[in-house]
Amino acid sequence: MITLGRFFRSRASRKFRKDRMAVVSMAVIGLYVLIGLAGFVGLISIGDALERAGPDSTTGFFQDQTPEKRLRDARFWREIAERALRRENPQAAIREAAFFERALAPLPPAEVTTLVREADGLYNAVADHFDEATEARLMIEELQKQPTPDPAAIAEQAAAREKAQAAAAAALTELERVTLRLFPIPDGWRGTLYHFRTFLGTDRQGRSISMRGLYSVRIALQVGLVVGLVSLTIGALLGAAAAFFGGWVDHAVTWLYSTFSSIPELVLLSLIAYVFQGWNFVDELIPVYAALSLTFWIGPCRVIRGEVMKIRELEYVQAATAIGFRRWYIMLRHVLPNTAHLMLITFSLLFIAAVKAEVILTFLGLGVKNGASWGIMIGQSRQEVINGFLWQIGVATVLMFFLVLAFNILTDALQDAFDPKHVGK
Amino acid sequence: MWPYVLRKLLYNIPVYLGILLIVMVALRVNDPVWAHLGSKTRGTAGAQERYETKRTEMGLDRPFAAQYAAFVGQVATLDFDARSWDRPTETVGAMLRRAIIPTLMITVPSLVLTTVISICIGLVASYFRGGWADRTLMLLAVLGMSISYVVYIILGQYFAAYKLREWAGVELFAIQGYEPGIANWPYYCLLPVLIGVVVAVGYDTRYYRAVMVEETTRDYIATARAKGATKPRIMFVHMLKNAMIPVISRVMISVPFLIEGSILLEFYFNIPGMGKTMIEAIIHKDFPVIQAFTAVLAGLFIVSNILTDVLYAWVDPRVRLS
C-alpha cells in the first residue's frame, strides 16, 4: 500500500494525471470495462448476440427504411404469425412466437387469422401500387426517349406515378398498423430494451447489431487482457533473466527471440493458428490467446532485456549482491520492479496489438470461429457492404475505434510521463 | 565492410536453422496427413493406404532428424519439388515462382510510396512543431491508427471500386482479381497499394516526426543556425541527411508489416501472391505448401534484415565497430 501511495505522489504519475487527454481516455477505457463486465456477469449474453431479434438487415435509428424494405419486414412478421397458426397447437405456438421482447400478441387463433388475412390483403395492395408506380416510371422514361417528347403525356404519367406512390404509402402505413397489432412493441422497460436492441439495426441473419457489438467488447477485453498479461510475463521473465544472468542464458534467449521475430508476424500467427486447428478446447478463445501470446512476447522481451542490462550495473543491485541475497531473489525483488514503467507502456501496446490482431486473424478465418467478436462482425459484413448495408461494419469499427484510440492516447501519455527517453510534444 | 557482412551472414545462419526447426515442429504437432485427409475419414475404406502414400511421399515416416536435414538441404539448394496436396498437378516451386511477382507488385510500390509520403509529412510536422498543422497531422495519424486494417480494405473496395463506378461512371479500379503485366497494374493493383499506404502512413509519420524532433536538438543544428542557414535549409539539407539512419532502419522494420498487409490485401482482392497462397494452404491444410512458403517468407525476411544491417553500416561507419 505504501508503494502505491508513493506511486501516486510521484512526479511521473502527477504529470500523467495532468494530461487531460489521458484522463479522458482512462474514463473511456473504464466505460468499456463496465460493458465488458456486463458481458462477463451475463447481463449481455451470447444468446443476445447470436439469436434473431427481428427481420434481417434493418437499418439503424437515423436511416429510414425504404418502402420496399418496410413491405418485406411486414411480410416477415406476417409469416411468423402464419407459421404459428399452422402448428398443431396454434394456441401454444402463438404464445411461443417471440423474438426477445417483441412477441406475437396473445390473441385467440381466430383473431390472429383475421389479422394475418388483413395483412395479406394489404401486402398485395401495396405490392400492386408499387408495380403501378414502376410502370409509370418506365412509361416516363419511354416518353422522354422519343424525338419530340410530349409534355402533357409525361405530366399525366408523373401524376399517375405520384398517385400510386401515395396509395402505396397509405396502404403501407395501414399494413404496419396491422403488424403492430400482431406484434405489439412492448411498453415500459421491456420496450426500452426492445428499442435498445434494434436501434442500430439487425444483420443479415436478423441478429441485433447493438447486442453483437457490446458482447464483442467483452471478447476484445478478454483477448487484450489475457494476451497482454501472458506475453508480458513470458517476455519480461525471459528478457530479465537473459540480461541479468548473461552467459549462455543470454545467448539462448537472444537466439530464441531473433528466431521468432524473423518469422513475419502474421505468418507466425497463422502457423500457430494452424497448429491449434482440430483441437477441442473448453474455451474456444484459447487458440487465439496462444497464437497471439506466442507471437507478442518478443517485444517486451527485447525492451526489458535492454533495461535490465542497465539496471544490473547500478549500486543497489551490487549492494543486494553484497548482502548475499540469491540471484533469483535480486532479479525478482530488486530488478524487475524497476522496469514497471516499461511494463506498463508495453502492456498498453500489447493490448492494442491483440485487439487488432484478433480482427485480422478472424477475418482470415483463423481466429474466433463461433460466437461474436468484432472480427466476426467485420468479416461477415463483407457481403452486407457489397449490398450497401454499412451498419454492422460501422458499429464494430466505431466501438473498436474508441477503445483503440483511448489506448493509443493512453500509451502516448504513459510514455511522456514515465519514459524519459521518449520524444513527445 | 566485408568482414562485417560476413559476420552478419554467419550470425543469421543459426537463426534461420532455428526458424526451420520451429516451423517443422509446429507443422508436425498434429499429424499433417490426417489433418489434410480429414480425421473423420480415418477408418474408412482405402483411407489407410492414402495416408501411407502421402506419408512416404513427404518422407514423414522417417525420423525427425532425417526430415530436418532433408528439408534444410532442399531450402539450401532452393529445390522445392514436392507436390501440393491441394492441387496435385503443381509443384511447390512452381507455385512459389508464380506467386512472387504479384506480391512484389503490391509490396514494393507501397513501401516506396509510404516512405516518401510519411517522411514528407514527418518533416512538415516537425517543422511546425507544436503548431496547428503539427497537431492536426498527428491527431489524424492517431485516428487513422485506431481503425482496423480490415475495415480500410472493405470500405476502400466498396467506395473506390463499387461506388466510384456508380457516381462517376468510370471504371478506375477492378473490384478484385489480377492480370500480369505493367499495363494492367493501375487497374488491378493501384487500389490495394493505396489502401496499404493509407494504413501505414499513420504509423510511419509519427515515427519520422519523433526522429526529426530529436534531431533538432543536436549540436550541428545549432552550429548551422549560428552560421546563418535558413530554417528550411537546415531542415531539408542538414537534418534529412543525418536522419537517414533511423529512416533506413524504419523502412526495414516496416517490411514485416508490409508482408502482413500484402497477405490481407491479396486475400481480399484475390491477387494470387504469396500471402494468399499461404493463407489458402493453411485453410486447406496443404502441408508441403505451408512448410515451403513459411521457410521462404522467413528467408526473405532475414535477407531484408541483413540488408538493413549492411545499409546501416554503410551509412554510419560507427556501427561496423560495435
pLDDT (tens digit per residue) in B170-219 = 777 887 888 887 888 888 888 999 999 998 898 889 888 888 888 888 88
C-alpha cell at A37: 463486465
CA angle A134, A140, A143 (to 5 degrees): 145
The mean pLDDT value for B95-117 works out to 89
A260–B143 C-beta distance less than 8 A? no
A393–B278 C-beta distance less than 8 A? no
pLDDT band at residue A278 using 50, 70 and 90 as cut-offs:
low
Q: Does A27 lie at the interface with B, CB-CB under 8 angstroms?
A: no
Provide the 3-class DSSP secondary structure of residue A84. helix
B14–A262 C-beta distance less than 8 A? no
Q: Is the pLDDT of residue A225 over 90?
A: yes
Cα atoms found within 13 Å of the Cα of residue B41, Cβ hemisphere only? 13
Q: Which of A174-178, A270-274, A365-369, B171-175 has the largest mean confidence?
A: A174-178
The CB density around residue B231, as the number of other CB atoms within 10 Å, is 10
Q: What's the rounded Cα separation, in Å, for the pair A378 and A395?
A: 9
A408–B263 C-beta distance less than 8 A? no
In this complex, which of A390, A409, A423 lies closest to B213 when CB atoms are compared?
A: A423
C-alpha cell at A132: 403501378
B282–A262 C-beta distance less than 8 A? no
C-alpha cell at A123: 401486402
Q: What is the pLDDT of residue A423?
A: 55
Provide the 3-class DSSP secondary structure of residue B55. helix
Provide the 3-class DSSP secondary structure of residue A202. strand
Least Cα separation, residue B249 to chain A (angstroms): 15
C-alpha cell at B116: 516518401
What stretches of chain B adopt beta strand conformation (E)?
none
Chain A (378-397) residues lying within 8 Å, Cβ to Cβ, of chain B: 378-379, 381-382, 385-386, 390, 393, 397
ipTM: 0.85
Percent helix, strand and coil across chain B, each rounded to 5?
A: 80, 0, 20
The CB density around residue B160, as the number of other CB atoms within 10 Å, is 17
Q: Which residue has the cell 530488486?
A: A334
| CA B6, chain centre distance (Å) | 25
Which residues of chain A lie closer than 8 angstroms to B15, CB-CB? 255, 258-259, 262
Q: What's the rounded Cα separation, in Å, for the pair A43 and A395?
A: 20
Average pLDDT taken over every residue of chain A: 87
pLDDT band at residue A421 using 50, 70 and 90 as cut-offs:
low
Which residues of chain B lie closer than 8 angstroms to A364, CB-CB? 263-264, 267, 279
B301–A275 C-beta distance less than 8 A? no
Q: Does A400 lie at the interface with B, CB-CB under 8 angstroms?
A: yes
The mean pLDDT value for B11-28 works out to 88
In this complex, which of A258, A360, A385 lies closest to B154 when CB atoms are compared?
A: A385
Q: What's the rounded Cα separation, in Å, for the pair B113 and B53?
A: 49
Which residues of chain A lie closer than 8 angstroms to B23, CB-CB? 263, 271
A408–B39 C-beta distance less than 8 A? no
What's the one-letter identity of residue B247?
V
Which residues of chain B lie closer than 8 angstroms to A274, CB-CB? 26-27, 282, 285, 290
Provide the 3-class DSSP secondary structure of residue A103. strand
Q: What is the pLDDT of residue A425?
A: 47
Per-residue model confidence as pLDDT tens digits over A111-125: 888 888 988 899 999
Q: Is B98 exposed, middle or buried (0-12, 13-18, 19+ CB in 10 A)?
A: middle
Q: Is the pLDDT of residue A239 over 90?
A: yes
Q: Is the pLDDT of residue A35 over 90?
A: yes
Q: Which residue has the cell 396509395?
A: A167
Contacts of A74 (CB under 8 A, 6+ apart): A119, A122, A123, A172, A175, A176, A179
Chain B (44-103) residues lying within 8 Å, Cβ to Cβ, of chain A: none
A374–B148 C-beta distance less than 8 A? yes
Q: CA-nearest residue of chain A to B29?
A: A275
Least Cα separation, residue B167 to chain A (angstroms): 14
Q: Which residues pair with B91 in a beta bridge?
A: B83
DSSP state of A99: E
A378–B264 C-beta distance less than 8 A? no
B39–A278 C-beta distance less than 8 A? yes
Least Cα separation, residue A117 to chain B (angstroms): 41
Q: What is the pLDDT of residue B322?
A: 54
| CA A380, chain centre distance (Å) | 12
The mean pLDDT value for B52-78 works out to 84
Q: Are A161 and A137 in contact (CB under 8 A)?
A: yes
Q: What's the rounded Cα separation, in Å, for the pair A99 and A83?
A: 14
Provide the 3-class DSSP secondary structure of residue A208. strand
Q: Are B227 and B161 in contact (CB under 8 A)?
A: no
Per-residue model confidence as pLDDT tens digits over B247-279: 887 887 777 677 777 888 998 888 988 888 888
Q: A310-333 burial, b if ≥16 CB within 10 A, otherwise e?
A: ebbeeeebeebeeeeeeeeebbee
Q: CA-nearest residue of chain B to A291?
A: B26
Percent helix, strand and coil across chain A, each rounded to 5?
A: 75, 0, 20
Per-residue model confidence as pLDDT tens digits over A130-157: 998 888 888 888 888 888 877 888 888 8
Per-residue model confidence as pLDDT tens digits over B132-159: 988 899 899 989 889 999 999 999 988 8
Q: CA-nearest residue of chain B to A258?
A: B15
DSSP state of B91: B
Q: CA-nearest residue of chain B to A358?
A: B148
Provide the 3-class DSSP secondary structure of residue B247. helix
Q: What is the pLDDT of residue B321?
A: 59
In this complex, which of B15, B143, B150 lies closest to A262 when CB atoms are compared?
A: B15
Which of B25, B146, B166 best probes binding to A when mutated, by most A CB atoms within 10 angstroms? Answer: B146
In this complex, which of B283, B285, B302 lies closest to A365 when CB atoms are compared?
A: B283
The mean pLDDT value for A170-184 works out to 88
| Dihedral, CA of residue B289, residue B294, residue B295 and residue B301, to nearest 10 | 140
